[in-house]
Amino acid sequence: MFTRTESFREFIRFYPVVSTIITIHLALYLLTVLPIFPNYWFFETLSGVNLYIMEGEYWRLITPIFMHSGFTHMLFNSFSLVLFGPALERILGGGRFLFVYLLSGLIANVATLLLEPLTYTHVGSSGAIFGLFGYYIAIIMFRKHWLSKQNSQIILTLCVISLIMTFLQPNINITAHLFGLFGGFLLGAIPYFNKRDFSDSIKSTANWAGNKRKAISFQSPLKVLIWAAIIIIAILGFLTQK
């Protein structure tokens, strides 16, 4: 479920929302480092600055979700989205997945505005990604049949490790991580799907998961080892970023 077996073209076709978000990550990063605009105009204009938000620049509640403080920050958050976003996009559909992702990030940034000093500045998609974790936890608690026991254990383990690292690592927006996780959990707990949605989603996800297991079984051991290494590196990088 969290091991990618698709080709690049297949990934874009199967997960258009995740692919678009990652493209925006990369594009905005390039715009902050290329000598097109003086003084990193995009970074200064789109980052989250509590004082400027209070003065009416409300777009800064959303735009920091797509901005990052450097290449490694952008790379590891994008890798985390590649690993954990596709399954949820498949379960929810592109529109609902984007809604959960953006609203989780918005909740994280509003909490940052309310609880951090006016001088506080922040960027990064970690709050939105923690929202995905929160949504997964809601699935595990209320819709256990959507995920296998093994995948549920992976998610819970990663959430526990992520929360521990949130409090141990310096320069982490703890508020965004916690409220992003909480926001995603609330969105997952709200019964806004009707019964037909449940049935269709379960059937579609079960068929998709079965096909993915068959696909993985045909992967070479080398490819599986490479993806395992990528997952470990991405998780460790994500846990040490803002």
Indicate whether 3 belongs to any domain: no
Q: How confident is the model at residue 166 (pLDDT cuts 50, 70, 90)?
A: confident
58-90: pLDDT as tens digits: 999 999 999 998 899 999 899 989 989 999 999
Share of the chain above pLDDT 90, in %: 50
Indicate whether 168 belongs to any domain: yes
Q: Is 204 a catalytic residue?
A: no
Task: Tell me whether strands 121-122 and 48-49 are parallel, antiparallel or unpaired.
Answer: antiparallel
What is the CB neighbour count within 10 angstroms for residue 34? 9
DSSP code per residue over 177-231: HHHHHHHHHHHHHS--S-HHHHHHHHHHHHHHHHHHHHHHHTS-HHHHHHHHHHH
Q: Read off the CATH number of the domain in which 171 is found.
A: 1.20.1540.10
Q: Are 188 and 137 in contact (CB under 8 A)?
A: yes
Q: Which of 69, 126, 162, 201 is catalytic?
A: 126
212-226: pLDDT as tens digits: 544 544 444 554 445
Q: Are 122 and 48 in contact (CB under 8 A)?
A: yes
The pTM of this model reads 0.80
The single residue listed with the structure tokens 């509590």 is: 50
Indicate whether 104 belongs to any domain: yes
95-151: pLDDT as tens digits: 999 999 999 999 999 999 999 999 999 999 999 999 999 999 999 988 888 888 888
Q: Say which residue, 208 or 171, is predicted with more confidence.
A: 171
* Phi/psi of residue 122, nearest 5 degrees: -150, 150
Indicate whether 139 belongs to any domain: yes
Q: Is 177 a catalytic residue?
A: yes
d(CA 139, CA 143): 5
Q: Which residues contact 213 (CB under 8 A, 6 or more apart)?
A: none
3-state secondary structure of 26: helix
Structural domain count of the chain: 1
Indicate whether 2 belongs to any domain: no
d(CA 114, CA 11): 38
Q: Which residues contact 202 (CB under 8 A, 6 or more apart)?
A: 145, 146
Indicate whether 205 belongs to any domain: yes
Q: Which of 25, 68, 73, 177 is catalytic?
A: 177
Indicate whether 1 belongs to any domain: no
What is the residue range of 72's domain? 8-239
